[in-house]
Amino acid sequence: MQATAVIRVLQGKLAWYPPGSSDEPQWLDNDLSREKLRATLAQRKVTVCFAVPGADVRLLSMTLGADEKKHIGKSLPFMLEEQVAQEIEDLHFATGALQQDSLAVGLCSHQAMQQWQALLAEFPGVTLWQPEPLLLPWQAGEWCLVVEQHSAIVRSGACAGFAVELDLLPAMLAAALVETGKPSAVIVYGNNQESDTALLPEELQDVVQWRAGNFFSALMLSNVTTPALAMLQGSYAPRLPLGRWWGTWRKVAILFAVAFALQLMATYADYRNLKNENLALRSAVQESYRKAYPKGAIVDPEKQLQRQLASLRGSAQSSGFVSLLDRVGTVIAAKPGTSIASINYNDKGDEMRMNIVATDFEAVEQVRAAINQAGLDAVMESSSSQGDRVRARLRVGVRS
C-alpha cells in the first residue's frame, strides 16, 4: 500500500489517504491537499484509486458457460433484469474475471457514476475506480469488516460485500450467513472491541478477531493495484488524452508531416525521371534492333537479339549460320565460274535457301552433288537460263 493512494467520499465530500500518511484521511476541500494530490497524479509513481461508495454499488458473482461469456457484454443486463428494482437502462454494469467459469459483477446507477465523475473532475488522472468493499483485505473462508462512526464496510468474498448503516449491519450479516455459510474467521477493525463485536450475530461471535484500526489500517494489508473489479468500463472507460497530446506534439507532428510530404514529392520526381529514362532506353534498344533486323515483330528486343546471335555463333553441338555458310562456301569456291547471288537463312530449321549463278546446268548439278558429299542435304528447287549462264535456287540444310 506504500505506493497507493485512495480517495473516498465521506459526508458528501472528497478525502484521500496519501501514501505513507497517518490513519486519518486528508480532506480535499482545501487548496494544499488538492495541490498535493495533483502533484501525486502528475508524478505517476503512485497508483491513485477512487473507492466507489459501497452503499451505492451492488456486488455479485455469476457462473457462466463458455458460450455465455462471448456475449456477456450485451446479455448481462437482461440476465439480471429480474434481480434489480430499477430500470435496466438506468444502471451501469461492470464485469471482471474471477475464475475460469466465474464472473465478478458490479452495478450502480448512471446517476451515481455521473455524480462521482463531477466530484473528481478536478483530478482527471484518477482512472482506477474500485468498489469500497473490494479494497478490504480478504482470503478464502474469512470475512473482513470495518466499523466506522455511522456505518460499516464488509467484504465476504472475492466479489461479495456491502457498506451499510450500523443499525442495519446485524440483519445484513445474518443474510450473508444464509447465503454463503459461516466463515472460519471474521476480522473486525474498529475503535471499541465490545461495541464493535456486539454488532455481529450470535453465530459469528466465536470466530471474531477484533483489531484496533480503521479503513486505512485495513488498506495497509490489501493489494489495491490488482483490482478485483474496475468500475470504469463501457461508456465510462478512460479516454486517451488526445487533446493534451496534440498540444504537446503539434509542432513535431507538423514538421514530420512537412518532411514526409517533401520526401514523397522527391520520391515521385525520381520515379518520373527513372520512368522517362526507361522509356528512352527501350526506344534506343528497339532502334538498335531495327538496324540489325528491319523486319519482324518486336516482343523482347534483348532476348530476340541474343537468340539471333546464338544462331550465328555456331557450336560443336549445333550448326549455325556461320558453320553452314563455311561448308557451302568451300564447295562454291572449288567450282570456278560459280558464285552465290543471294542467301536467306532460317534459324529455326537450320537451313538456308540460296541463289547461285553457274556456267551451265551441269555445273549447278556438280555444286549440288559436292554439297551433299560435304555432309549436307542440298535440294535444287528451281533453275533457269540467264543469258549465257544458268541461275539456280538451292535449299541447303543439315542432314538428319
Strand-pairing partners, residue 73, are: none
Together in a domain, 1 and 38: yes
How confident is the model at residue 106, as a pLDDT? 92
* Partners of 217 in the β-ladder: none
CA–CA dist 241, 226 (Å, integer): 24
Grid coordinates representing 76 are 448481462
Of 95, 105, 102, 99, nearest in space to 65 by CA:
102
DSSP H or E stretch at residue 328: helix 321-333
Quick one: 62 and 126 in the same domain? Answer: yes
Residue 232 lies in a domain: yes
Q: Final residue of a domain: which of 194, 213, 239?
A: 239
Number of domain units in the chain = 4
Same domain, yes or no, for 39 and 122? yes
Residue 20, all three cell numbers? 505513507
DSSP-assigned beta bridge partners for residue 61: 104
CA dihedral (275, 279, 281, 283) in degrees, to 10, reads 180
Does residue 114 share a domain with residue 63? Answer: yes
Whether residue 148 lies inside any domain: the answer is yes
**What CATH number is attached to the domain comprising 173?**
3.30.420.370
CATH code, domain with 25: 3.30.420.380
Say yes or no: 212 and 121 in one domain.
no
On whether both 318 and 275 belong to a single domain, the answer is no
State whether 103 and 234 are in the same domain.
yes
Q: Give CA torsion, residues 12, 17, 244, 260, to 10 deg.
A: -150
Does 109 reside within a domain? yes
Q: What is the largest CA-CA distance in the chain?
A: 151
141 with 83, same domain: the answer is: no
Domain that holds residue 149: 137-221
Looking at the structure, do residues 288 and 321 belong to the same domain, yes or no?
A: no
Rounded alpha-carbon distances, angstroms, from residue 109 to 58, 66, 166, 278:
10, 28, 23, 70
Dihedral pair phi/psi, residue 366, rounded to 5° = -65, -40
Do residue 284 and residue 232 come from a single domain?
Answer: no
Residue 162: name the closest of 54, 62, 60 by CA: 54
Per-residue pLDDT of the chain (400 residues; tens, 9 = 90+): 557 889 999 988 999 998 866 678 899 988 998 999 999 888 888 889 999 999 999 998 888 776 677 767 777 888 888 888 888 899 999 988 887 778 889 999 999 999 999 999 999 889 899 999 999 999 989 999 999 989 999 999 989 999 999 999 999 999 999 988 999 999 999 999 999 999 999 999 999 999 999 998 888 888 776 667 889 988 888 876 666 667 778 888 888 999 999 999 999 999 999 999 988 888 888 887 777 777 777 777 777 777 776 665 554 444 577 888 888 888 888 888 899 888 888 877 778 899 999 988 898 899 999 999 988 899 999 989 888 899 999 999 888 7
Give the residue carrying C-alpha cell 549447278. 364
CB 230: neighbour CB atoms within 10 A? Answer: 20
**Residues in contact with 300: Cβ distance below 8 Å, sequence separation at least 6, in sequence order:** none
DSSP letter (8 states) at residue 240 = P
Grid cell listed for 216: 486505512
Indicate whether 183 belongs to any domain: yes
Separation of alpha carbons 82 and 78, rounded Å: 8
Euclidean distance between CA atoms 237 and 225, whole angstroms: 17
Task: Answer whether residue 306 is part of any domain.
Answer: no
In a domain, 301, yes or no: no
pTM of the model: 0.60
CB 238 within 8 A of CB 232: yes
- Domain containing residue 385: CATH number: 3.30.1360.100
In a domain, 304, yes or no: no
In a domain, 307, yes or no: no
Same domain, 127 and 169: no
183 and 206 assigned to the same domain: yes
